[in-house]
Structure formats: C-alpha cells, structure tokens
Amino acid sequence: MAEPSQKPDPVPVAIIMGSQSDWETMSGAASVLDALGVGHDCRIVSAHRTPDRLIDFAKGAVDSGFKVIIAGAGGAAHLPGMVASMTRLPVLGVPVSSKALSGLDSLLSIVQMPGGIPVATLAIGPAGAKNAGLLAASILATNDAALAERLDAWRTAQSESVGERPV
C-alpha cells in the first residue's frame, strides 16, 4: 500500500475544462479513455477565472507525467491555447458548444492559433470530446503495443456494430 506522503502514480492524459458546465461534454473523452484502459485525470482549469491554476497546471504538466493534454472550453475559449503556450506536450482542443453562438465562437477561438504554438482542434461538442479521447489514445499507442491492440479492437468493434442496411 502506498504511503500517504507518496505521489499518486502519474497518468498519461490530462482532461481539463474551463467550467463544471463543460463536464457534460468533456466526460465523453473520459469515457472513451476508460473503455481503452488509458489513465486520465480530469480537472477544472479556467483561463479567465483561475489564471494561477492554469499557469501551475501548464508549467507543471511535463513533471506531472502527462503525455497528452485534452482541453475543452466554450465561448472565448483561451484555455487550450494558453496551456499550449506553456508546455511542449500535445494539446487537443475541444470547442464546447456555447449558448450564444452554438460553439462557433469556441471553435474559432481554439482553431485559429497563430503559427508557432499549435493546438490540434477537434469538432464542436460531444463528437469532439470523444475524438479527442481517441486521438490521445492514438498518440500514446505509437509507443504502447498493448494500447495499440486495444485501440484496433475498439475500431473493429465499431465497424462490426454498423449494420449493412437501415432498420
């Protein structure tokens, strides 16, 4: 049993989001990582409301043992870009759908990074969150044969679940 003073084992994926309200969307990334047996840590980190938490997280992400960061935010969605500016880890941005502009604001805020600091941007909403989880797994699978097998099996099962004709 681990001593209380010991740090918990590092997990490879951080899933961060700007608000509790983003969890409904971002839980889709966590679900697919659960299905693939990929460890992850989910946190609320707001670029606007908790800027010090953002800096601590981003600057400490490498030392925390993370390999990939999934960052979801809505509206003026600075979170993925700000995190990417402070870490060399790959950042996968998920535009969360917003009430005012249905996520178009989030998408443009995340995708339009100036050259030099990349954010890999997924689709708006639940599809983007799910694909961010899958993409994180794909990245990790380049260096993890067991995960590559699980990912291949997941994709095969998905193919097999698609009927040939509509019912």
CB 54 within 8 A of CB 47: yes
Give the interface segment with ligand RP5, choosing from 15-23, 31-39, 83-91, 124-132 (CB under 6 A). Answer: 15-23
Burial zone of 53 (CB within 10 Å; 0-12 exposed, 13-18 middle, 19+ buried): middle
User: In terms of CB distance, is 19 or 131 closer to ligand RP5?
Assistant: 19
**15: β partners:** 42, 70
Integer Cα distance of 47 and 25 in angstroms? 18
User: In terms of CB distance, is 71 or 141 closer to ligand RP5?
Assistant: 71
Give the interface segment with ligand RP5, choosing from 73-81, 86-94, 124-132, 152-160 (CB under 6 A). Answer: 73-81
22 is in an annotated binding site: yes
Q: Work out whether 74 is an interface residue with ligand RP5 (CB under 6 A).
A: yes
Give the interface segment with ligand RP5, choosing from 69-77, 84-92, 136-144, 158-166 (CB under 6 A). Answer: 69-77
Integer Cα distance of 99 and 13 in angstroms? 28
Q: Work out whether 103 is an interface residue with ligand RP5 (CB under 6 A).
A: no
Apex CA 9: angle with CA 17 and CA 145, to 5°? 90
Q: Work out whether 96 is an interface residue with ligand RP5 (CB under 6 A).
A: yes
What's the distance, Cα to Cα, between the start and end of the chain in Å? 52
Residues that bind ligand RP5 (CB under 6 A): 18-19, 21-22, 46, 48, 73-75, 96
